[in-house]
């Protein structure tokens, strides 16, 4: 499947969640079995030889492909959630995004030193959520951290860039405009 076919499977919603934001809705990609399989295949091809032991999916669309990738790689899956959603003790991190501030949480026993962690989410825009996720994960002293996205929106300024020591990959690179 070509990049163009994958892009065509993604719904674009203007002015969501606020005016001026072009929202790339990957749920339409997920419902297309061929497109979803292609995305999973591409992600797994990138990370199959990295020794991934945990895949952290960022709420909520990061759970979908993240859990499937974890299963395919033989790794555990760890949800990174919005506040108040996890039942046990958590570690949290605040961050800024294009249209406000937020925080994310992870269970305080989710990762152990020596884990090789892949953080996955659907979209990389300003980098706020991903950078917060990296800070959370690095607090556990893993052996290595990687970040993967389905879409990297290339023309959005990175207000919170992912640290240089964390390799980043994206299946598609798109422009918001």
Buried b (16+ CB within 10 A) or exposed e, 156-173: beeebebeeebebebbbe
φ, ψ for residue 62 (rounded to 5)?
-65, -20
DSSP string covering 81-98: B-TT--SS-EEEEEEEET
Annotated catalytic residue, options 61, 81, 93, 105: 61
Residues 121, 57: contact at Cβ < 8 Å? yes
H-type helices in 59-103, by residue range? 61-73
Active site residue 61: yes
Annotated catalytic residue, options 98, 135, 158, 176: 98
Active site residue 34: no
Cα dihedral angle (37, 71, 142, 78), rounded to 10 degrees?
100
Active site residues: 61, 98
């Amino acid at each position: 499947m070509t990049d163009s076919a994958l892009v065509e499977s993604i719904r674009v919603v203007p002015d969501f969640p606020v005016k001026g934001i072009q929202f790339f809705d990957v749920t339409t990609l997920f419902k297309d079995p061929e497109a979803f399989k292609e995305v999973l295949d591409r992600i797994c091809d990138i990370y199959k030889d990295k020794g991934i032991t945990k895949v952290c999916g960022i709420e909520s669309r990061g759970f979908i492909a993240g859990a499937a990738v974890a299963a395919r790689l033989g790794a555990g899956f760890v949800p990174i959630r919005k506040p108040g959603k996890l039942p046990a003790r958590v570690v949290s991190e605040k961050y800024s995004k294009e249209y406000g501030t937020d925080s994310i949480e992870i269970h305080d026993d989710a990762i152990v030193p020596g884990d090789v962690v892949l953080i996955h989410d659907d979209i990389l825009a300003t980098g706020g959520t991903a950078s917060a996720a990296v800070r959370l994960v690095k607090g556990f002293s893993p052996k290595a951290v990687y970040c993967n996205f389905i879409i990297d929106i290339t023309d959005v300024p990175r207000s919170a860039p992912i640290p240089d020591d964390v390799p980043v990959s994206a299946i598609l690179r798109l422009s918001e405009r």
